[in-house]
């Protein structure tokens, strides 16, 4: 008599239940069940059981669950459980992002902004900053720290978004407050250009404590043009600075 491992029996039962129940529209009644099921699929992915992850997540994604859609996008992008097809990765990321999934919005924007595909098993996608901009902006609005910085940077140099110094300042200030070093560095430049040496000094002081390239040289250059009390006040602000909490 052939014995089937109990893990496979349970997995088959779960897949059968999911297939029977979906693809039906996501409703308030089944959303909690979907979320729990997507968590099971995510756990399978994290332990590198990609076949099980696909079997669980794909029907959920087809049913409209954003968490499952996100993970199916990840699997297509990385070539884990699916062939590495970028158009499928971006398709699923976009579906999840349109439902407010912030990591999906960021992954989609980041893939488009930088281009994608280094490892042999990853899909290949050329960079397109204009296409990336609305998704990075959406991710920033949903509170993703790296997206907040990138949107500020794009506004600052007019890359993918129109050149807008006011918008750049607002987004870079948010990134700097969250402790994103690149955001602090770019905001420090803006402060210095605006004549706010104290604000620039505080940020360069924080960056120098992290060993950020060029921060100490900029700090010394500013200090040579500041009064002693200005330096003291700027350092005091740096000592008491704490990063803001990122949105959940």
Instruction: State which residues form the domain around 163.
Output: 143-248
Domains: count for the chain: 2
Neighbours of 9 (CB within 10 A): 10
Tell me: the pLDDT tens digits for 142-169? 999 999 999 999 999 999 999 999 999 9
For residue 137, being part of any structural domain is answered with no
Does residue 15 register a pLDDT over 90?
A: no
Q: How far is CA 67 from CA 20, 22, 44, 102, 218, in A?
A: 20, 15, 14, 10, 44
Tell me: the pLDDT tens digits for 109-144? 999 999 987 777 778 888 999 999 999 999 999 999
Q: What is the mean pLDDT of the chain?
A: 88
For residue 168, being part of any structural domain is answered with yes
Dihedral class, residue 242 (left if φ above 0, else alpha if ψ from -120 to 50, else beta):
beta
Per-residue model confidence (pLDDT) at position 90: 96
Q: Do 103 and 45 belong together in one domain?
A: yes
Per-residue model confidence (pLDDT) at position 164: 98
232-243: average pLDDT: 96
Per-residue model confidence (pLDDT) at position 14: 46
Q: Do 1 and 101 belong together in one domain?
A: yes
Assess contact for 96 and 70: CB atoms under 8 A.
yes
Choosing from 100, 131, 162, the residue where a domain stops is: 131
Q: Do 116 and 4 belong together in one domain?
A: yes
CATH number assigned to the domain comprising residue 28: 1.25.40.10
Q: Do 179 and 85 belong together in one domain?
A: no
Is pTM beyond 0.85? Reply is no
Per-residue model confidence (pLDDT) at position 46: 96
């Amino acid at each position: 008599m052939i014995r089937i491992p109990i893990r496979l029996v349970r997995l088959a039962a779960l897949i059968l239940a999911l297939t029977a129940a979906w693809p039906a529209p996501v409703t308030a009644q089944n959303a909690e069940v979907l979320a729990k099921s997507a968590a099971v699929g995510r756990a399978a992915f994290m332990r590198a059981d990609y076949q099980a992850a696909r079997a669980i997540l794909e029907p959920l994604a087809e049913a409209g669950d954003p968490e499952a859609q996100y993970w199916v996008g990840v699997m297509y992008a990385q070539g884990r459980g699916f062939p590495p097809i970028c158009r499928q990765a971006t398709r699923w990321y976009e579906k999840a992002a349109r439902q407010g999934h912030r990591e999906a919005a960021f992954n989609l924007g980041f893939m488009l902004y930088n281009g994608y595909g280094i490892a042999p098993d990853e899909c290949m996608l050329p960079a397109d900053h204009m296409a990336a901009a609305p998704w990075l902006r959406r991710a920033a609005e949903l509170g993703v720290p790296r997206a907040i910085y990138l949107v500020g940077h794009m506004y600052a140099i007019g890359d993918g978004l129109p050149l807008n110094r006011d918008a750049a300042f607002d987004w870079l200030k948010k990134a700097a407050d969250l402790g994103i070093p690149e955001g602090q560095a770019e905001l420090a430049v803006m402060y210095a250009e605006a004549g706010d040496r104290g604000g620039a000094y505080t940020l360069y002081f924080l960056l120098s404590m992290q060993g950020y390239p060029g921060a100490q040289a900029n700090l010394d250059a500013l200090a040579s043009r500041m009064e002693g009390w200005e330096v003291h006040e700027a350092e005091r602000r740096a000592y008491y600075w704490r990063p803001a909490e990122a949105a959940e």
